[in-house]
Structure 1
């Protein structure tokens, strides 16, 4: 069975269980206290007192028993009170310890990055000449070996293929970064900002800020803003306006609403597969009760060039979106929603994979967008969206692979709230091979599909994971489907597809 763990979505945590136990104990204490009061009042009942006159010895024994009863009852109440306070203190301590461990670990990584940055800054006069000398020698020797054919002679004589060795080294590094994505995310969130702050000589205290700015790097988002500013100076990753129009869909429209989450994600994946630039698709669904709902599918990355061309689903959209800026894809979705005539009261589900998830997640947290569009549900796959403050009115399901670096690029875990479930799947190629969606693949095709170090982020791998989770009856997927059943039933009345193109001034 596919291995996964879930955060949020109404799942009860240790501290929540402790709080619930504290509440239950408080109820018991209140009930026992009321009974104690009633018993004390009963001791002074006139009829009871009069019955003691004919039998004074029995009355004295009865009084002694009542006294012991009240003493033991008072002691029990004190024990219950102490237990209740202990349980509540344990819940508080758990939360503080969890928060403290996170802060201490983050602080240690901040310090490590800062120290590294200071060492680099101090050693720069020595490092630059050494790097130039070594680097130039490597380049020259490589060119000589290639021009003279000595690289082939080395391969034959010693069995060392320099080109293959370089490719394997790059693959090993990529695999290391992806397979330890949590550590890589922590490096992005803490170590790299610390290095920059240390290198430029700012005091380390600036790394402790929670302020939402980018005057200096202190987290993954501010680091992205700094990266973007540097790239813009060289004419890279530049923002632009966008032109949007209705287009023929990359895939034919469906006749019915999605059957389940596997079908929903398959339709999302069809918004970018085999395309130079992805498309936005909007499905209009009318339920049996006459309620109209819309599913908005947002495409993933199709172009990894750092130069902004015509393509809307490119690297520029990725970086701009991660920096918290508006993007051409956000504007493309806004224009598509407006053209589709989606009313402010109609329920809307946003669906996005990778870049599509970043766009969808940012829109689900955008007050201006939500003022016009009633987003009630959001499904993201393989997307870093923890930085987006999505409100409790949006039901969120996020699916991530444990070994996928992309969802960890924001350096944080998604909030574990009642309305937000994050299912993290242990990426296992041997298990994924059993997915129904891959039964038509040969062993050679599957080997090639899962061979890449970054295969954990592939759309096919996520499709397989979602299919296996569904067949296992995963509770988070079942909950999301049940809560949003209106998007999976009724009649699919209309499908609209939209294409976009960057406008350069």
Structure 2
């Protein structure tokens, strides 16, 4: 059962869970109506067996009680009818959603397999379309890549890439279906990303390497209070270019019982160079995150957490943006930490299986191609927040991919903070309660680098 919260201008709508909750409340109302009616039955019996003395008053009281009993019968009947109807609607919605997801997935896989077979014939038109997009003005390019329909197409292409690759390799369609998204689920986005890595690594690109912490210093913006809102959380995610190279921020809180809890914030891609030299938050890590856990950025956060003294049984919450979102999701999925909460903004998290034991809030703009590259969002147990961030944007003066930029997610976080939807407010309350009442021990920014960076190579091997 999924929870999709659509935020826009401060409004929101939650599917399915709200229907179930309302159905439960209506059933309780019906039970309360029955209990009140039983009490009225007893009162009526008392009146009927009372000694005479005020027959007219007693008769009027009995008539009023009878009207009340009839009204309560109607309340019970209508409440139970509505409760059953809402429960049926919720079940039907879930079944239809699952069926639609399977049907669309199967259709996309079949379409992608066919495209893979026809690749030599259709490569020309695709190259022409791609070239036209590259040659278009920034305004035109943003308009195309900020269209929610285009973003849905990117998700579909991402999900079908594995089928197209297997088709070109000559794998029979029946075996592809068995292995893939609708079968054993061992292909999908990780398979497609692995194919990209297999192509790039012999050329010296997208190579992973060990990562170390090179600097750890107190955060320049020490928080005055524990994070209480989604806006608080997003504002704590480090920006490498503005925070002296920091990619990870860790806040340590001492709780009243003496235990320590940790809030870990993970930043976005810093370097898009596929050569993977020095910076672990790079394109190589983006591909590795799509393949699974074990990217340079993943190892960077692990190194920072080790430096902060976080042990496997310590309670942790993760918050990340863009590449940091996917990295945080992998850390929450790893089982290596006692993860209590996870908040991701604009990350390619769709195919990362986040445990349903983790209080997870996934924020994805419907005009964000980076989030779409994660494929279909399968973490349907999480609270999924969606918004068309660039709906009213003037693309003539907009940065590249405005739907993915931080200002849009800042605005979305503010709208989330103003939401009154139960599932979102409950998730927010749980995230806030994690460190509420704790004493801030430290807020530390961590800079990490790949060991193959020239300055680290010298430290490892000594002067040459």
What TM-score comes out, normalization by structure 1 length? 0.67
**Cα distance, 1:234 vs. partner?**
1.1
Say yes or no: does 1:490 pair with 2:401. no
Map 1:191-340 to 2 at 5 A: 192-209=161-178, 218-248=187-217, 251-268=220-237, 270-274=238-242, 277-288=245-256, 290-340=258-308
Aligned to 2:357: 393
Change (3 A) 1:166 1:410: closer
**Cα distance, 1:308 vs. partner?**
0.6
Deviation digits for residues 274-318 of structure 1 (CA, Å, limit 9, x no counterpart): 368542211112345544321111121111111111001111111
Q: Pick which of 357-366 and 291-300 moved more.
A: 291-300
Say yes or no: does 1:12 pair with 2:12. no
Say yes or no: does 1:187 pair with 2:187. no
**Cα distance, 1:208 vs. partner?**
1.8
Map 1:39-438 to 2 at 5 A: 94-121=93-120, 123=121, 167-168=135-136, 172-180=140-148, 181-190=151-160, 192-209=161-178, 218-248=187-217, 251-268=220-237, 270-274=238-242, 277-288=245-256, 290-367=258-335, 369-370=336-337, 374-417=338-381, 420-428=382-390, 430=392
Change (3 A) 1:85 1:490: closer
**Cα distance, 1:350 vs. partner?**
0.8
Say yes or no: does 1:499 pair with 2:457. no
Max radius of gyration: which structure?
Answer: 1
Q: Mind listing any 5+ residue stretches in structure 1 that lack a counterpart?
A: 32-82, 140-161, 432-446
Question: 3-state DSSP class of the match of 2:344?
Answer: strand
Say yes or no: does 1:459 pair with 2:406. yes
Note if contact 1:250-1:279 (Cα within 8 Å) is conserved in structure 2.
no
Change (3 A) 1:425 1:339: same
Question: 3-state DSSP class of the match of 1:500?
Answer: strand
**Cα distance, 1:345 vs. partner?**
4.5
Change (3 A) 1:5 1:209: farther
Change (3 A) 1:475 1:251: farther
**Cα distance, 1:320 vs. partner?**
0.5
Structure-1 separation of matches of 2:185 and 2:361: 33
Structure-2 separation of matches of 1:264 and 1:131: 41
Question: 3-state DSSP class of the match of 1:294?
Answer: strand
What TM-score comes out, normalization by structure 2 length? 0.72
**Cα distance, 1:425 vs. partner?**
1.7
Q: Pick which of 257-266 and 219-228 moved more.
A: 257-266
Aligned residues: 399
**Cα distance, 1:93 vs. partner?**
5.5
**Cα distance, 1:333 vs. partner?**
1.9
**RMSD of Structure 2 on Structure 1 (CA):** 4.3
Note if contact 2:247-2:266 (Cα within 8 Å) is conserved in structure 1.
yes
Aligned to 1:480: 427
Structure-2 separation of matches of 1:335 and 1:101: 42
Structure-1 separation of matches of 2:448 and 2:275: 17
Change (3 A) 1:471 1:449: farther
Deviation digits for residues 23-71 of structure 1 (CA, Å, limit 9, x no counterpart): 99xx99xx9xxxxxxxxxxxxxxxxxxxxxxxxxxxxxxxxxxxxxxxx
Note if contact 1:271-1:297 (Cα within 8 Å) is conserved in structure 2.
no
Change (3 A) 1:98 1:263: closer
Note if contact 2:12-2:419 (Cα within 8 Å) is conserved in structure 1.
no
Question: 3-state DSSP class of the match of 1:248?
Answer: strand
**Cα distance, 1:196 vs. partner?**
2.2
Structure-2 separation of matches of 1:262 and 1:346: 25
**Cα distance, 1:413 vs. partner?**
1.9
Deviation digits for residues 259-285 of structure 1 (CA, Å, limit 9, x no counterpart): 4321221111x3424368542211112
Change (3 A) 1:3 1:262: closer
Change (3 A) 1:87 1:352: closer
Change (3 A) 1:325 1:491: closer
Deviation digits for residues 83-121 of structure 1 (CA, Å, limit 9, x no counterpart): 999998876655443322222222222222222222234
Note if contact 2:190-2:291 (Cα within 8 Å) is conserved in structure 1.
yes
Note if contact 1:276-1:311 (Cα within 8 Å) is conserved in structure 2.
no
Structure-1 separation of matches of 2:230 and 2:422: 13
